[in-house]
Structure 1
Amino acid sequence: MKRLVVLGAGESGAGAALLGKAKGFEVFVSDKSEIKPIYKNVLLNNAIEWESGQHTEALILNADLVVKSPGIPDTVPLVKALNAKGVEVISEIEFAARYTKANLVAITGSNGKTTTASLTYHILKQELQVGLSGNIGNSFAQQVLEQDFPNYVLEVSSFQLDGTLGFKPHIAVLTNITPDHLDRYNYQFEKYIASKFSITKNQSEDDYFIYDADDPVIEANLKNFSIKARLLPFSLTKTVENGAYYKDKHIIITIDNNKITMPTTNLTLEGNHNIKNAMAASTVAQLLRIRKQTIRESLENFQGVEHRLEHVLKINKVNYINDSKATNVNATYYALESMDAPTVWIVGGQDKGNNYEELFPFVNEKVKAIICLGVDNEKLMDTFSSMVDIIIETQFMSEAVKIAYKIAKAGDNVLLSPACASFDLFENYEDRGRQFKEAVRKL
């Protein structure tokens, strides 16, 4: 019996353990942190061996195969020791994909991947049996085990892609590439770029690669990777022969001389970046032969993603907007770009080597006050204090919201768009977003 060791017992780890057991592996799960009760119960109920709060090398290095949580860097000594022994270390995405013949749509990018994946799923589920997984929803491995849908939409991070060997989506989508997570790539942008492009590495001529043709990093690197898949670019500015483009408030999609045109005037999602997300999702839907009417209706009734430019409440004619999912500068760029009123901006957290320069025009034009919410706000204070009249530091969400309430006037926006990771003060970006919403409701 082959031994499968799963490192990390979160959503993906627990799912991989269940699938591994069902496929006849002897399974052992090891998590350096305390395993959450919900996942501990899954392991106990399925008689899967586990350890919590430590990694016992003797029980791990004898593995035939290791499924590693995306949160564990490849550089930790344990992973290096496994590599040195020649043990295959893969991600849950790779593991689950080996046990399904489903049609896979995989979506990656520095920003927009959650919205694009959710929107794609929202359209496809109207006419197809489809699962939503990867970095979102229930674990891919568990869905393969329990539902095995004929189609999956997978939101895939660079860390998940780093653990893939044979992963081959029929349709791959790359929304954009901006510097992010560089701390995991030795601060070498080209390594991060290669990680994103690896989504297409196993694709063949029968597969499709949908990408943002307006993204300078993608355009500059297309020729550096041997891409066999058929290219379907989307663009806001150029006319595209095969793919999607935007003209006169319409999205025009052409695939093999088959053309569909859709108005964007009734899109529920605002901002140029969401027109791009809609173009990517509609192109996938068109490839999978979803009816044009269904695509159009789905675009118009899609409610968006929690923690992504989510309108929370209007209090005294002030709009409170939760964009906690903006964990990098580029995401915040889109948020500030879409603000159409003077904005009190709550920013800060764990900085991943951020360069805030691209935000300067918006800060000068739209931001009336900045509230820095982080353990270390020095860089933000140095960068922005000369641009706004009011800049304040705090380490409590409730206080940040109360300060914003005092500063904002009727017609203003209060925007939480941190441009940073959340781990200095919060469990994750969801926790940060929920605390913001709670504090707003308590005003």
Structure 2
Amino acid sequence: MKAITDYQNKKVLVLGLAKSGVNAAKLLKRLGALVTVNDKREFDDNQNAKVLLEEGIRVITGSHPVELLDENFELMVKNPGIPYSNPMVKRAQELGLPIITEPELAYEVSEAPWIAVTGSNGKTTTTTLIGQMLNEARTTGHAYDAGNIGIPASQVAEKATADDQIVAELSSFQLLGITQLHPEIAVLTNIYEAHLDYHGDRAHYVAAKMRITMNQTPDDYFVMNWDLPEMHELAKQSKAQIVPFSRQHVAGARAYQEGEWLYFDSERIIKASELQIPGDHNIENALAAIAVARLKGVAGSAIAAVLRRFTGVKHRIQYVTAFNGRKFYNDSKATNVEASSVALTAFDAPIVLIAGGLDRGLSMADLTPLVKQHVASMVVYGETAPLLQQVAQDAGVPVERVEQLPEAVRVAYEQSQPGQVILLSPAAASWDQFKNFELRGDQFIETVAALEAEEK
């Protein structure tokens, strides 16, 4: 970790906890900052706040009191999930208080160079693949996954050395709070319509994603999905060397699929049929990772070895188990229609779809043709259940509505036939019934395991 003095005796407000907030507060204290943490959750039910208080950090819980900003803070480190419409954040902006997110702080202290990955879908899979490829047959240092993948970047940055590499998954929420973060390689997997309740409109969402390249120079690389025409225009905003990838073998792509093979700069890497993760979208994720790994000098044989054994990341079209002729997949990370659309096209077998979650006021209609083509029946729950019922009815697919996910799993199994896939792909955020998509996916896995034990 770099021994920086920028935060010595600097009054810093950490707004919002969770993993990233806790690690940011601890790091700031070690850097000599005068840290105050403010979290909306009540203290008695706030283990993170208790931990920080025990370490001598000032903690204010139970609300976000705007008057706290009268204390002349010099910086706010904001939890990415707190929107800029929050009164506390709006007041900080009015005061001209700099607002950053935890990855920016991590980058400032990091000795290791960064690779940064963003996109509407595929971020976690691509980040994980890159990390494994960079570590395959590595003789010096280590590549660490970090960021939105679930490991706070500041936690990793403290231990990573100049011989290491940080591969950071960055969300649009996190990217809005960076100023200096400068990846030597940036990746944009794709851009669809997502998080508009946070960003306001698509233009602001796209602008947030493009911040991943804003500090890059002509010595850096920007890996982009060339199958999306929008990327060709967005590429003009970057000073980095553009490295396109394309599943459709669009002209100019350096990583691409041609016939049954995946290539980089005319070098055969692996047959698409050898990938262990299903779906065309995962071919795109593999191509993005191949591009990064080859740019970093990883041998094609090492890249292929990783792809042959990689079976996916948890909660993203994750194979769970199979019994009585049914296969179960957990795609809890599909928090929008686009992500679920990808999952529905990933299987050859008929699907019993479990979907539902937080109603953000967005249309589900785009799912209808895919449901009609790929889904045998649906079980829906949560706030979006009425919208998903309408999708099923429009598609001519049987549908049953339940209240909770465990019940949905059991009903889906009862509806299913041997040879079918039972897929949790919610097409909505988890926050109506779960704190995060991970807990939703974990409950799905636990319910499936209990069901399997009963069926034996």
Residue number in structure 2 paired with 1:93: 103
Question: For residues 429 and 442 of structure 1, what CA distance do their matches in structure 2 show?
Answer: 20
Question: For residues 172 and 222 of structure 1, what CA distance do their matches in structure 2 show?
Answer: 12
Residue number in structure 2 paired with 1:159: 173
Residue number in structure 2 paired with 1:350: 358
Question: For residues 384 and 137 of structure 1, what CA distance do their matches in structure 2 show?
Answer: 33
Q: In terms of mean alpha carbon deviation, does 203-212 or 402-411 score higher?
A: 402-411
2:371–2:397 Cα contact (<8 Å) kept: no
1:162 partner letter: L
2:75 partner letter: L
1:290 aligns with 2:301: no
Residue number in structure 1 paired with 2:215: 202
Residue number in structure 1 paired with 2:5: none
1:131–1:143 Cα contact (<8 Å) kept: yes
Residue-by-residue CA offset, 1:194-226 (whole Å, 9 max, x unaligned): 111111111110011001011233335434xx2
Residue number in structure 2 paired with 1:433: 441
Q: Secondary structure at the match of 1:385?
A: helix
Question: For residues 389 and 192 of structure 1, what CA distance do their matches in structure 2 show?
Answer: 34
2:110–2:160 Cα contact (<8 Å) kept: no
Q: In terms of mean alpha carbon deviation, does 169-178 or 295-304 score higher?
A: 295-304
1:395–1:425 Cα contact (<8 Å) kept: no
The Cα shift of 1:240 comes to: 4.5
Change (3 A) 1:316 1:184: same
Q: In terms of mean alpha carbon deviation, does 404-413 or 361-370 score higher?
A: 361-370
1:106 aligns with 2:107: no
Residue number in structure 2 paired with 1:145: 158
Change (3 A) 1:241 1:365: closer
Q: Secondary structure at the match of 2:273?
A: coil
> TM-score, normalised to structure 1's length?
0.94
Question: For residues 185 and 56 of structure 1, what CA distance do their matches in structure 2 show?
Answer: 24
Correspondence for 2:55 among 23, 29, 46: 46
1:232 aligns with 2:243: yes
Pairs within 5 Å for 1:9-48 = 9-34=17-42, 39-40=48-49, 42-48=51-57
Correspondence for 2:78 among 55, 60, 68: 68
The Cα shift of 1:232 comes to: 0.4
Pairs within 5 Å for 1:34-433 = 34=42, 39-40=48-49, 42-61=51-70, 62-126=72-136, 127=138, 128-148=141-161, 150-186=164-200, 188-223=201-236, 226-241=237-252, 243-254=254-265, 259=267, 261-433=269-441
Q: 5+ residue gaps in structure 1?
A: none
Question: For residues 50 and 251 of structure 2, what CA distance do their matches in structure 1 show?
Answer: 51
Question: For residues 57 and 224 of structure 2, what CA distance do their matches in structure 1 show?
Answer: 41
2:213 partner letter: T
Question: For residues 419 and 191 of structure 1, what CA distance do their matches in structure 2 show?
Answer: 22
Question: For residues 330 and 221 of structure 2, what CA distance do their matches in structure 1 show?
Answer: 34
Segments of 4+ moved more than 6 angstroms: none
2:247 partner letter: L
1:105 partner letter: I
Question: For residues 101 and 240 of structure 1, what CA distance do their matches in structure 2 show?
Answer: 37
The Cα shift of 1:37 comes to: 5.5
Q: How many residues align?
A: 437
Identity of aligned pairs, percent? 38
> TM-score, normalised to structure 2's length?
0.91
1:39 partner letter: N
Question: For residues 138 and 380 of structure 1, what CA distance do their matches in structure 2 show?
Answer: 33
The Cα shift of 1:361 comes to: 2.8
Question: For residues 46 and 144 of structure 1, what CA distance do their matches in structure 2 show?
Answer: 21
Question: For residues 347 and 10 of structure 2, what CA distance do their matches in structure 1 show?
Answer: 55
Question: For residues 203 and 353 of structure 1, what CA distance do their matches in structure 2 show?
Answer: 36
1:345–1:414 Cα contact (<8 Å) kept: yes
Residue-by-residue CA offset, 1:314-368 (whole Å, 9 max, x unaligned): 2210111111111111111111101211211111111334333443332112212
Question: For residues 56 and 224 of structure 2, what CA distance do their matches in structure 1 show?
Answer: 44
Residue-by-residue CA offset, 1:291-311 (whole Å, 9 max, x unaligned): 222111111112311111112
Change (3 A) 1:392 1:132: same
Residue-by-residue CA offset, 1:156-209 (whole Å, 9 max, x unaligned): 0000001112221110000001100100122x1111111111111111100110
1:329–1:354 Cα contact (<8 Å) kept: no
Q: Secondary structure at the match of 2:328?
A: strand
1:168–1:200 Cα contact (<8 Å) kept: yes
1:108–1:175 Cα contact (<8 Å) kept: yes
2:117–2:123 Cα contact (<8 Å) kept: yes
Residue-by-residue CA offset, 1:204-257 (whole Å, 9 max, x unaligned): 10011001011233335434xx21000001001125545211012211112xxx
